[in-house]
A and B are shown apart, each in its own frame.
Chain A
Amino acid sequence: MQLMEGEKEKILSSVDEVLSNSSKKKENLITILQKVQAKLGYLPALAMEKIADGINVPAADVYGLATFYNQFRLNPPGDHQVKVCLGTACYMVGGDITLESFERRMDIKEGETTPDRRYSLERVACVGCCTMAPVVVVDDEVEGKVTPTRVDGIMLELESKNGKAESKDDPGENQVTHQKEGEQE
């Protein structure tokens, strides 16, 4: 995932702040990761490397821990967050097919974020409204009975929201600058 303008500095300062306020012991790794994620919204690779250096464990171990626990995310939350329920009821009526449809439409896998950071896709286990299965939560709004056709509808709605935002502050241009920054790093 390419970092955005100023993000590198933010990551470094956040990690420094967390590390300076916690004892640099291996046992504290989970707490440190939680604090860093609370600040940044996710755990960028750069942050994990800095944390590994800070508490003197291999970066592969930090990565192992961050991929082990569901509470850690390695990709930034997108402008629009889509959460597909794969709890028992949703799974039984084809929640996995709904998830696949989103994966195809967004061209990312579950747990990932699109390169332009517009969409992030996650799986969750039970939202609490099984009668509406398969359930999808789009930006905190619950959508019920989400068939692949409805997935197309949701994506269209989200894209039209983006379109409105685009005409306001034109993120299309920003996107190009982001790519350039990525190349420099």
Chain B
Amino acid sequence: MNKPVKIIIDDHEIEAFAGEKLLWAALDNDIFIPHLCAIREEKRSGASCRLCFVEIEGISQPVTSCTKSVEDGMVVKTRSPRIDRLVKTGFELLLSDHDLKCRECPANRSCALQKIAKERGLKLRQKRFKHIERDYQLDDSPKEFAFNRSRCVLCGQCVWADREEAKIGAIGFTRRGIKRVVTTFEDLPLAESICTECKLCVDACPVGALYYKDLKK
């Protein structure tokens, strides 16, 4: 894990640690790779957001950089027609059920989706997939924050914060497929669950799904 090696990402030679995940090596060297679900401390990333694809010389298919360990002399590309296509599709699918009222969203300008769109020249309003309007009920039961599931990208950052940082276990993924949501046990409002309102999940949310009430205009 701690042996420094040299790898090449997009023609830049960078120093990274063997065994470290490629995504973090790139990000630490200011090379942007889109990502939502990856967590640095997590042993094995779920690679569920399907955005951090890269191409590595010697590997025929694009791989998710959050699951690929750095090896000495790796030659990596963060952009290629194949990667762009995969990322575009993944991104469009994420946005196909996303509440796109960015101006009303407390994460406007700090949103991870906006950043990815800007970096990769992707549109937030995709036309390829039929848009799904979610009618999830806003959970504003906690004192200082609220949870708007129609903005959730199911990255799992809040669940990680709840489990591994706060050590509570109040929220988790439930249901399956298109119905998948982050909820409490029995879908109770957060204030009625075992949630301690520590707000670590709010800080972890890369979009505007979990947000502080007083930042909302």
Q: Are B186 and A64 interface neighbours, CB within 8 A?
A: no
CA distance A64 to B186 in the complex (A): 9
**Given A48-B185, A49-B185, also A60-B170 (CB < 8 A):** yes
Residue of A nearest to B180 (CB): A68
Assembly CA distance A29 to B3 (angstroms): 40
Q: In the complex, what's the smallest C-beta–C-beta distance from B46 to chain A, in angstroms? A: 14
Contact (Cβ within 8 A) B185 A63: yes
| Partner-contacting stretch, out of B65-73, B94-102, B140-148, B171-179 | B171-179
Residues of A close to B173: CB separation below 8 A: 64
Do residues A60 and B171 form an inter-chain contact, with CB atoms below 8 A?
A: yes
In this complex, what residue of B is CB-closest to A45? B186
Main secondary structure of the interface of A (DSSP, over half): helix
Pairs across A and B, CB under 8 Å, 30 listed: A45-B185, A48-B185, A57-B169, A58-B163, A58-B168, A58-B169, A58-B172, A59-B169, A59-B185, A60-B169, A60-B170, A60-B171, A60-B184, A62-B185, A63-B172, A63-B174, A63-B183, A63-B185, A63-B186, A64-B172, A64-B173, A64-B174, A64-B175, A67-B174, A67-B175, A67-B176, A68-B174, A68-B175, A68-B176, A69-B176
* Nearest A residue to B185, CB-CB: A59
**A68: which B residues are within 8 A, CB to CB?**
174-176
Please state if B186 and A58 are interface contacts (CB–CB under 8 Å). no
A61, CB-defined interface residue at 8 Å = yes
Q: Residues of B contacting A64 with CB < 8 Å?
A: 172-175
Q: Which residues on B sit within 8 Å (CB–CB) of A45?
A: 185-186
* Chain B positions within 8 Å of A67 at CB level: 174-176
The number of residues on chain B lying at the interface, defined by a beta carbon within 8 Å of a beta carbon of chain A, is 15
Tell me the complex Cα distance, A60–B168, Å.
10
Distance in Å: Cβ of A21 to nearest Cβ of chain B: 25
Q: How many residues of A contact B (CB 8 A)?
A: 14
* Inter-chain contact B175/A60, CB cutoff 8 Å: no
A-facing residues in B87-145 (Cβ within 8 Å): none
Bound state CA distance, A36 and B7, in angstroms? 53
Complex interface: chain B residues within 8 A of A58 (CB): 163, 168-170, 172, 185
1/0 per residue A8-34: CB within 8 Å of B? 000000000000000000000000000
User: Which B-chain residue is minimally distant from A61 (CB atoms)?
Assistant: B172
Residues of A within 8 A of B163 (CB): 58
Question: What residues of A have a CB within 8 angstroms of the CB of B185 in the complex?
Answer: 45, 48-49, 58-60, 62-63
Collect the chain A residues with CB atoms within 8 Å of residue B168's CB: 58
**Contact among B169, B175, B194 for A61, CB-based, below 8 A:** B169
Q: Render A41-70 as a binary contact track against B, CB cut-off 8 A, 1 for contact.
A: 000010011000000011111111001110
Which residues of chain A are near B175, meaning CB under 8 Å?
64, 67-68
In Å, the complex CA distance between A63 and B182 comes to: 11
Residues of B within 8 A of A60 (CB): 169-172, 174, 183-185
Instruction: Say how far B147's CB is from chain A's closest CB, in angstroms.
Output: 14
Q: How far is the CB of A95 from chain B (nearest CB, A)?
A: 18
Kindly provide the distance from the CB of A109 to the nearest chain B CB, expressed in whole angstroms.
12
Chain A residues lying within 8 Å of B176, measured Cβ to Cβ, are 67-69
Complex contacts, B171 vs chain A, CB 8 Å: 60
With the chains together, A67 CA to B173 CA distance in Å?
9
Cα distance A104–B214 when bound, in Å?
40
Chain B residues with CB under 8 A of A59 = 169, 185, 194
Give the residue name and chain of the B residue nearest to A70 (CB).
Answer: B176
Residues of A within 8 A of B172 (CB): 58, 60-61, 63-64
